[in-house]
Amino acid sequence: MNTAPDRPLTRNIHRGAPHFDIAAYERADGYRAVRDTLGKTDPAAIVHMVTESGLTGCGGGGFPTGLKWQLMPSAAQRPGPRYFVVNADEMEPGTFKDRLLLEGDPHQMIEGIILSAYAVEANMSYIFIRGEYVTAIERLSTAIAEATAAGLLGENILGSGYNLSIQVHAGAGRYICGEETALLNSLEGHRAIPRAKPPFPQISGLWGCPTIVNNVETICNIPHIVRYGAAWYRSLGINGGVGTKIYGVSGRVNHPGAFELPMGTTLHDMIEHHAGGMKTGYELRAVLPGGASTAFLPGDQLDVSMTAQAMAAHGTRLGTGTAIVLDDHTCPVGFIANLQQFFARESCGWCAPCRDGLPWVERILKSIEAGTGMIDDLDTLAEMTGNLGPGRTFCALAPGAMASLQSGLRYFSAEFTRHIETRACAWT
């Protein structure tokens, strides 16, 4: 494959086809970047290339990947163990892009780990994966064994003098482990609660050692950036975007799924052209553009590019880039109550606003949905969105939960009021 692909992340993934083994992956030029780089390119040059590419974290935070790597002290500055950790704990409601990559092309991520760990001079990597992803765990374990047998992992990889081991760690199933420091605590065998920052993991992470934590999709971009260059990667985006993104669409659309598209593709294009538009008899009311932790966009604001900057300008976030569609046959109050139930159950309990506030919000919403709510409940919910908002809790779990509620109270105020006044849900 000599021509640079325009859909690099999913180039090997075909619907209904078996996942690639190492022989098939290498026939498609897999591990070419590893063979051309290890022992031949200075690690700092890879960090510089990733920085120049404009790649940002694809797990929801959107932090510049190269800058994160630069914040890690070099091995000369900080001798001792260093770790590269993959965040594969994909538990954000409505998000399923990483599963596509893990199951469909596991060697792509292994190659990305090798290059990333080499760039930050780490010799041990852990893949922290959602325990329910049984198929992905099996395929990753097979891919690691195949790569080790081929001399691409282990001691003195390809005669380069570089050593790297990868271990798959299945999590016990807590949403909070998507937060990188809670993930590290869990990986160490402790309770999965977030840590105070600073220090950041790049300085003091796993077992107090310098650690990089990156999302699956982020890492899968690295082999292609290393092979084809930063300028090529930047050129793939449109409407101010950089590179490509695996966007997802779920809800009552004709073709729900995940689609690799140029970063900057509009939300309207995602839903209408790639997801096939709404099913017959249903109309789109609003969309959570980046998973359950993002604010609603109403149906008349879909001509917006799916970039972090454009989403922020419209009062929401890109998040994971996986859109959840709310249709006109679904009760928005029940929809939001269901999301709040999830977040309340998944609170780690470490800080009081989240531990006590989210169950309170859940109870109020459930009572409104059941026909026992009071009009004053709306003022209480509005107040809670501020009390659980950014800067009021230890991590971003509760503020993320409040995004759908706060925007829902604004866009669906009539529905909330009707529930309370009629003592019933019109959608039941």
CATH number of 244-327: 3.10.20.600
Q: In 10 A of CB 390, how many CB atoms?
A: 12
Which CATH number among 1.10.760.10, 1.20.1440.230, 3.40.50.300, 1.20.120.140 corresponds to the domain 332-422? 1.20.1440.230
User: Tokens 């084809």 — which residue?
Assistant: 228
Summarised one tens digit per residue, pLDDT across range 304-359 is: 999 999 999 999 999 999 999 999 999 999 999 999 999 999 999 999 999 999 99
Q: What pLDDT score does 425 carry?
A: 87
| Residue 204 confidence (pLDDT) above 60 | yes
Confidence of residue 42 (pLDDT cuts 50, 70, 90): very high
Confidence of residue 37 (pLDDT cuts 50, 70, 90): very high
Summarised one tens digit per residue, pLDDT across range 6-27 is: 999 999 997 666 677 999 999 9
Q: What pLDDT score does 196 carry?
A: 93
Confidence of residue 168 (pLDDT cuts 50, 70, 90): very high
The H-or-E segment that residue 213 falls in is: strand 211-215
Compute CA distances 211 → 73, 195, 354, 406, whole Å.
10, 14, 27, 35
* Helix pair angle (352-370, 332-346), 10° resolution: 150
Dihedral angle over CA of 127, 130, 132, 136, nearest 10:
-40
Summarised one tens digit per residue, pLDDT across range 112-156 is: 999 999 999 999 999 999 999 999 999 999 999 999 999 999 999
Summarised one tens digit per residue, pLDDT across range 144-153 is: 999 999 999 9
Summarised one tens digit per residue, pLDDT across range 44-86 is: 999 999 999 999 999 988 999 999 999 999 999 999 999 999 9
Q: What pLDDT score does 61 carry?
A: 87
| Residue 1 confidence (pLDDT) above 60 | no
Domain 8-235: what homologous superfamily?
A: NADH-ubiquinone oxidoreductase 51kDa subunit (3.40.50.11540)
Summarised one tens digit per residue, pLDDT across range 286-308 is: 999 999 999 999 999 999 999 99
Mean pLDDT score, 197-221:
97
Longest dimension (CA), the chain: 74
pLDDT above 90: percentage of residues in the chain: 94
The sign of the torsion formed by the CA atoms of 54, 59, 60, 65 equals negative
Q: What pLDDT score does 15 carry?
A: 62
Compute CA distances 413 → 69, 251, 365, 423, whole Å.
44, 22, 13, 15
Q: What pLDDT score does 427 carry?
A: 79
Mean pLDDT of the chain: 95
Mean pLDDT score, 382-397:
95
Domain boundaries, the chain: 8-235, 244-327, 332-422
Mean pLDDT score, 182-199:
96
Mean pLDDT score, 88-98:
94
* Cα of 305 vs its chain's centroid, Å: 18
